[in-house]
Amino acid sequence: MFATSVIAADAGGAASRLGTMVLGLAVFAAVFVGILLLASLFKGRRGEKIQAAAFVGPTIFFIAIALIYPAILTIRRAFYSGKFFDLNFGTPRTRGKFVGFDNFTALWTTPGLPEVFRNTALWVILVPLFATGVGLLYAILIDRARGEAVAKALIFLPMAISMVGATLIWKFVYFYNGDPGSQQVGLLNAIITKLGMEPIDFIGNAPGNTFSLIAIMIWIQAGFAMTVLSAAIKAIPDEIIEAAKLDGVKGMQMFRFVTLPSIRPSVIVVLTTIAIGTLKAFDIVQASSGGKFGDSILANEFYNRSFVTQQPGLGAAIAIVIFLLVSPIIVFNVIQLRKDA
């Protein structure tokens, strides 16, 4: 009887979800058809403006609801302390206490947070540089080589794995057995002990564990860098390469004076894209240790302060710092793309 009721409840829930999905699709279709009918009623320049507003307006509206409004709440929350907040800051009890810039000051005075900024700086510097470097080197070495497609697929494969999945894979590689004399089943420690050296706690020992986690991010992002840069290298006109060869340019000179200047816009895009992704990296740290061993970074600390230690004001301040760090990278990327356009 109980099993029958559970199955019936699951079936009812599935039917309800299906009905909601169908209703959503119907509303979307109705809105889209309505926009097309409205656009067809107007002609000329005025009609073009109305048509553009009809198409762009809903998008701007939903962006305002999904991005701008939460951003305003986050900024406001950063100036309050307390554990309980409602969405509208409606009552004095739920609004918390106004503390001004105290949450931002706490970013530099709270124990453990200065190390978080140090770790984040290491991530933002090392991951883009090494991931782009490895991807570029790989793209050059396999360019027009036999088995190029298979070689590209192998290095791109980590991009198809979620960051949590990749972290779990590397936890087996880094696994450390702390019992003296016990067999090391982690791949790296098994190799180290076979060579007669002592095993290493790759995840538990700071600050070396930060570099261990950085290696995971590089392993994931190198495939992305290789794919973009390989496409850029293949887009270099053959005439330029042939002219350089006729002038006696080859080897490192070919890379320095022909290849690298030709793919410079792509290199900038790859560097900035990986840097932005690194600033938002959360999964790797959370899935490996949760940032408990001195290896936390800003994105992970935002989660911990907002939901674990119940300090939403401090968490909001960290979110604003992440946004401020990402913004200059985006602006630089846009400026460079406009220059090369």
Nearest Cα to Cα of residue 288 among 214, 221, 199, 183: 214
pLDDT at 94 over 60: no
Query: Each residue of 67-81: pLDDT tens digit?
Result: 888 888 889 889 988
Helix (H) or strand (E) holding 98: strand 97-98
Q: What pLDDT, on the 0 to 100 scale, is given for residue 321?
A: 93
Q: Is 80 helix (H, G, I), strand (E, B) or coil?
A: strand
* Residue type at 148 in one-letter notation: E
Query: Each residue of 293-321: pLDDT tens digit?
Result: 999 999 999 999 988 888 888 999 999 99
Q: What pLDDT, on the 0 to 100 scale, is given for residue 14?
A: 67
Q: What pLDDT, on the 0 to 100 scale, is given for residue 92?
A: 52
Angle between helices 102-109 and 312-340 (to 10 degrees): 90
**pTM of the predicted model, to two decimals?**
0.81
Residues 6+ apart with CB under 8 A from 271: 128, 129, 132
pLDDT at 5 over 70: no
